[in-house]
Homo-oligomer: A and B are copies of this chain.
């Protein structure tokens, strides 16, 4: 199938075209910037969507909601709950389950995709798992492009679910309009991690498994952590039991409130500009990086590494030599 047909079909929301384009993105992540077909796809999406000012949908038509948290807090179940909630509102929903912990396996193994299977036959729900296929930075490069595919497919909401504590939270926050950080009682000192870094990225906190021991203590602990925060937005704390669908309305209300805040404060535009900057810069760097590889330059890097290992050079000088090749 040629790119034109594929793009047209994806824009009509045909699941197979969407799936094929995301596969194209995933495969291209192995050599970021190296796939000219992808370039064609992105150009087609951009021109077809048209400037918002002229009544087009704009390139970021979808509301992007990131969900993150440690393994076991119930991210997939919560994502499933949100899919149902947005479907009840008649929204078209995209889901990207990003799994940075399987870079070597060549396939996302988030395990409980099964919990989302009830949506497998819903033509208004697109679910896709992505792993990074071993390339340093591959996922950082591929995820925004997969978002663009889902966006072009007319998704009103895109849920980006990511496993992880640490960099993953930050990465998802850079992609999302709204970042939801999930916690659950009895997960070790998750709150300690939360205090360390999650606070800055969370727009909404969810305490899932709220029917378990320790849930109220966790909410209290979070509340006292959030209390001293200044600034126009203080992250609300929502209690849920996602496996039973409990708290879905509260979560949706919190998300809507944040969406309204983003709009009114101008923060939405700021975030999306930052996202656009990241996107451009990531592609530019990937294209530069690709220049290291072809035409024997990969071997050149090998030789420089050998010399560094033998203490015949230092890393900066080696980097300069590598760059000198770029001309």
The answer to whether A190 has its CB under 8 Å from any CB of chain B is: yes
Instruction: Give the dominant DSSP class at A's interface.
Output: helix
The answer to whether A118 has its CB under 8 Å from any CB of chain B is: no
- Quick check: A319 and B280 within 8 Å, CB to CB? yes
- Quick check: B187 and A273 within 8 Å, CB to CB? no
- Quick check: B192 and A72 within 8 Å, CB to CB? yes
The answer to whether A123 has its CB under 8 Å from any CB of chain B is: no
Residue of B43, B70, B101, B170 near A71 (CB, 8 A) is B70
- Quick check: A284 and B273 within 8 Å, CB to CB? no
The answer to whether A252 has its CB under 8 Å from any CB of chain B is: no
Complex Cα–Cα for A43 and B174 (A): 35
CB 8 Å contact bits of A302-313 with B (1 = contact, 0 = none):
101110111111
Contacts of A187 in B (CB 8 A): 72, 187-188
What is the distance, in angstroms, from A206's C-beta to the closest C-beta of chain B?
Answer: 15
Chain B CB count within 10 A is highest, among A162, A292, A318, for A318
CB-nearest residue of chain B to A102: B197
Q: Are A165 and B167 CB-contacts (below 8 A) given A72-B189, A198-B101?
A: no
CB 8 Å contact bits of A172-211 with B (1 = contact, 0 = none):
0010000000001011111011011110110000000000
18 pairs, A vs B, C-beta closer than 8 Å:
A39-B314, A56-B311, A71-B165, A72-B188, A72-B189, A109-B196, A110-B196, A111-B195, A136-B174, A167-B167, A167-B168, A187-B187, A273-B305, A277-B305, A280-B318, A281-B289, A281-B301, A283-B315
Starting from the known contacts A101-B167, A162-B166, A279-B308, 4 additional A-B residue pairs (CB-CB under 8 Å) come to A100-B170, A144-B315, A269-B309, A284-B292
* Closest CB pairs A-B (n = 3): A72-B188, A101-B197, A164-B166
Q: Which residues of A contact B (CB under 8 A)?
A: 33, 38-39, 42-43, 45-47, 49-53, 56, 58-60, 70-73, 99-105, 109-111, 136-137, 139, 144-145, 148, 162-171, 174, 184, 186-190, 192-193, 195-198, 200-201, 269, 272-274, 276-281, 283-285, 287-289, 292, 301-302, 304-306, 308-320, 322-323
